[in-house]
């Protein structure tokens, strides 16, 4: 495909549908079995829904909020909105009414599409407060839902209405240009109020071209993807939806993360994209399962890991006997591991957060090399990724073709190219700060190695990125903790991990009072491990957690005997904590909490 000649995401889809009309495209579970819908069937529904939306008054440039699980209707709605010249605004299925209220109001959305009644119960109260939102379309029957004066439309009825209209969708969709905004994806808001990232058709197509150039050497043919990350996330939106469209691949929609192992065996994907947290979970489950089996199976498994790691780190270090063992373990162990992923995986890609080096090395040793990448929502989202022919686990690979990356004098990673957002919706100040002279200031610190592979060394902004890709503002959580009278200082930690843990410095007055009341000696070192004192602080943490979102909750904590201070180098002269210094001093303590 000539990616540079493509005008829009919708024209690419309709071109592929015309070529592959009767071929299977989308697979969804019905009655316990995956059942396919062809390219032609999906194209017909996209066209009908697009005409139905225009009959509701949808105009080019209008915004429509989309709230749904991963399912065929998500893709159909997304393309139907774009085919009308409008802009999709994805929203998470986990969003609360307050989150929806901000997105609906800030984007000025004229309508919303929602899948289930349960999701509608959180969306509809926000719709009532959004002055511009005139209608809601339900993929399922929402007519019993409380929607006030907002008209509710049934998906099937809108499709039927659209089928009665003249078929001009290809013509309308063809008016789109690469520079037109395709979607507005809101950031998580961990650094403040969520911002709407405006991504053009060209930005996403640029990402698809970069992915194609990296993977084409694997021999792309009839590819199969299993979609399980939220499509409201820019990573899955591009890598799990539009990239498969551009290469004419099939997409299976997973039933949920709890059914992922079963769905992998059923779909047998050839390319897999996921966040580090998934690989961490798989790593833990594999280790637990093999340890439970024990015996010869465990010995062979860990020998495969040992020799595989040795081969990756220094192939020449393997003796002749080890090479023969490694060859035998390819069939005895690694083939079985690959079978758990469906048996025909060509590439496994990790993005959305930093991949733990040991996790990457573990899967590489078992014959499943993970290609770690790097990006942001503001870059649609991929900037760079490791290549299958030269995987360097300690890096995030070389930049995609058509992407420029340079390192500023202060070490910040700057990105330029068609993949970069056009700006933040309704936020000129934030746009100006992020985009200067055509370069996106990522807020990450990095460097290039001798092969031109990018390495992320630090984060300019104090934002924690979990292994699952979610972001949390540490300052916000720390602020809640230190508001409590019992806590003098706090630092939360969780980068590259699944959840938050914390270091707590108890308030001196509270500590003294507690010691008097409980007949304990005021010894900071002894109190660190005192179960009664820890129980008292645990009640405080529980109190704070009750007012935080699930992502922000502190799961475990350690008590420190010494406060952070300017004198010990853990605070700046302006009394801000120096995270890297605290990490250096208490790194082992923090890791022990996981």
CATH of the domain at 105: 3.40.50.980
Q: Where does 91-229 have alpha helices with state H? A: 97-107, 117-129, 155-163, 169-173, 201-215
SS (H, E, C) 293-350: HCHHHHHHHHHHHHHHHHHHHCHHHCCHHHHHHHHHHHHHHHHHHHHHCCCCCCEEEE
H helix or E strand, kind and range, residue 365: helix 357-365
Q: Domain check: are 449 and 490 in the same one?
A: no
Q: Domain check: are 492 and 577 in the same one?
A: yes
pLDDT beyond 90 at 356: no
| Stated pTM of the model | 0.82
CA angle 42-226-248, nearest 5°?
45
27 φ/ψ angles, rounded to the nearest 5 degrees? -120, 130
Q: Domain check: are 330 and 295 in the same one?
A: yes
pLDDT beyond 70 at 375: yes
Q: Does a structural domain hold residue 184?
A: no
Q: Give dist(CA 147, CA 124) in Å, integer.
A: 6
Q: Domain check: are 172 and 288 in the same one?
A: no
The pLDDT of residue 575? 63
Q: Domain check: are 443 and 565 in the same one?
A: no
Dump pLDDT digits (tens) for 142-155: 876 666 678 899 99
Peptide bond into 381 cis (omega under 30): yes
Q: Does a structural domain hold residue 241?
A: no
Residue in 580, 575, 538, 584 with CA at minimum distance from that of residue 559: 538
DSSP 8-state assignment for residue 551 = G
Beta-strand ranges (E) seen in 39-126 are 63-67, 87-90, 111-114
The pLDDT of residue 534? 95
The pLDDT of residue 278? 87
Q: Does a structural domain hold residue 435?
A: yes
Dump pLDDT digits (tens) for 233-254: 899 999 999 999 999 999 999 9
pLDDT beyond 80 at 541: yes
Point out the domain boundary residue: 143, 176, 209: 176
CATH of the domain at 553: 3.30.300.30
Task: Please list the residues that pair with 66 across neighbouring strands.
Answer: 90, 113
Q: Domain check: are 319 and 442 in the same one?
A: yes
Q: Domain check: are 420 and 533 in the same one?
A: no
Q: Domain check: are 448 and 517 in the same one?
A: no
Q: Does a structural domain hold residue 265?
A: no
Q: Is the alpha carbon torsion for 245, 246, 248, 254 positive or negative?
A: negative
pLDDT beyond 50 at 586: yes
Q: Domain check: are 477 and 438 in the same one?
A: no
The two three-digit tokens of residue 230, written as one number: 């939220």
Point out the domain boundary residue: 176, 202, 224: 176
Domain count, the chain: 3
User: What percent of the chain is predicted at pLDDT more than 90?
Assistant: 77
Q: Does a structural domain hold residue 11?
A: no
Q: Domain check: are 580 and 481 in the same one?
A: yes
> Which residues, 6 or more positions from 199, have their beta carbon under 8 angstroms from its beta carbon?
181, 182, 183, 184, 185, 234, 380, 421, 422
Q: Does a structural domain hold residue 5?
A: no
Residue in 380, 377, 347, 374 with CA at minimum distance from that of residue 363: 347
Asked whether 127 and 112 are in contact (CB, 8 A), the reply is yes
Q: Does a structural domain hold residue 206?
A: no
pLDDT beyond 50 at 191: no
CATH of the domain at 373: 3.40.50.12780
pLDDT beyond 50 at 190: no
pLDDT confidence tier of residue 98, bands split at 50, 70 and 90: confident
Asked whether 102 and 92 are in contact (CB, 8 A), the reply is no
Q: Domain check: are 455 and 328 in the same one?
A: yes
Point out the domain boundary residue: 176, 191, 206: 176
The two three-digit tokens of residue 66, written as one number: 């989309």
Average the pLDDT over each of 337-351, 359-373, 447-461, 509-523 and give the range with the smallest value: 447-461
169: containing domain: 41-176
Q: Domain check: are 417 and 285 in the same one?
A: yes
Dump pLDDT digits (tens) for 258-311: 899 999 999 999 999 998 878 888 888 898 899 989 999 999 999 999 999 999
pLDDT confidence tier of residue 256, bands split at 50, 70 and 90: confident
Average the pLDDT over each of 203-207, 228-232, 466-470, 572-576 and give the range with the smallest value: 572-576
The torsion of the CA quartet 350, 88, 96, 119, rounded to 10 degrees, works out to -100
Q: Does a structural domain hold residue 202?
A: no
CA–CA distances in Å: residue 553 to residues 257, 476, 480, 539:
21, 11, 11, 13
């Amino acid at each position: 495909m000539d990616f540079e000649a493509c005008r829009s995401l919708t024209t690419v889809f309709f071109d592929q549908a015309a070529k592959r009309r009767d071929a299977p495209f989308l697979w969804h579970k019905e009655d316990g079995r995956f059942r396919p819908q062809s390219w032609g069937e999906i194209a017909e529904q996209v066209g009908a829904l697009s005409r139905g939306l225009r009959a509701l008054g949808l105009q080019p440039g209008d915004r429509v909020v989309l709230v749904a699980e991963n399912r065929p209707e998500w893709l159909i709605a997304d393309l139907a909105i774009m085919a009308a010249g409008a802009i999709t605004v994805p929203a998470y299925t986990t969003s609360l009414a307050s989150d929806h209220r901000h997105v609906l109001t800030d984007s000025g959305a004229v309508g919303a599409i929602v899948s289930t009644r349960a999701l509608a119960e959180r969306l509809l109260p926000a719709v009532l407060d959004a002055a511009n939102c005139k209608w809601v379309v339900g993929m399922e029957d929402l007519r019993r839902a409380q929607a006030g004066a907002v008209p509710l439309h049934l998906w099937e009825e809108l499709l039927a209405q659209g089928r009665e209209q003249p078929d001009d969708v290809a013509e309308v969709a063809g008016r789109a240009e690469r520079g037109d905004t395709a979607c507005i994806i809101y950031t998580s808001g961990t650094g403040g109020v969520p911002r709407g990232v405006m991504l053009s058709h060209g930005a996403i197509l640029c990402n698809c071209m970069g992915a194609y150039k990296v993977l084409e050497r694997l021999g792309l043919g009839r590819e199969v993807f299993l979609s399980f990350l939220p499509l409201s996330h820019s990573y899955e939106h591009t890598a799990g939806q539009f990239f498969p469209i551009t290469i004419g691949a099939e997409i299976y929609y997973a039933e949920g993360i709890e059914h992922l192992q079963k769905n992998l065996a059923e779909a047998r994907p050839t390319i897999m994209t996921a966040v580090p947290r998934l690989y961490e979970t798989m790593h833990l489950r594999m280790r637990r399962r093999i340890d439970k089996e024990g015996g010869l199976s465990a010995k062979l498994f860990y020998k495969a890991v040992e020799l595989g790691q040795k081969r990756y780190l220094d192939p020449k270090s393997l003796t002749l006997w080890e090479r023969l063992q490694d060859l035998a373990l390819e069939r005895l162990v690694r083939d079985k591991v690959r079978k758990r992923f469906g048996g025909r995986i060509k590439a496994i890609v990790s993005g959305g957060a930093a991949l733990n080096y040991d996790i990457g090395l573990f899967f590489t040793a078992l014959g499943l090399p993970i290609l770690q990448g790097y990006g942001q929502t503001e870059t649609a989202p991929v900037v760079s990724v490791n290549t299958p022919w030269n995987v360097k686990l300690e890096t995030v690979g070389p930049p995609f073709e058509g992407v420029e990356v340079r390192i500023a004098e202060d070490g910040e990673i700057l990105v330029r190219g068609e993949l970069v957002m056009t700006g933040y919706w309704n936020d000129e100040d934030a746009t100006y700060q992020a985009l200067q002279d055509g370069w996106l200031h990522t807020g990450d610190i990095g460097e290039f190695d001798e092969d031109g592979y990018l390495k992320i060394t630090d984060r300019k902004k104090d934002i924690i990125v979990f292994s699952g890709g979610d972001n949390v503002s540490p300052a916000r959580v720390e602020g809640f903790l230190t508001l409590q009278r019992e806590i003098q200082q706090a630092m939360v930690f969780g980068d590259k991990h699944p959840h938050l843990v914390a270091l707590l410095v108890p308030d001196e007055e509270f500590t003294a009072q507690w010691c008097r009341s409980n007949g304990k000696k005021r010894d900071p070192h002894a109190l660190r491990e005192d179960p009664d004192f820890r129980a008292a602080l645990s009640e405080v943490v529980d109190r704070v957690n009750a007012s935080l979102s699930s992502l922000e909750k502190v799961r475990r904590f350690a008590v420190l005997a010494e406060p952070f201070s300017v004198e010990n180098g853990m605070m700046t002269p302006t009394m801000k904590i120096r995270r890297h210094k605290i990490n250096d001093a208490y790194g082992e303590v923090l890791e022990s909490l996981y």
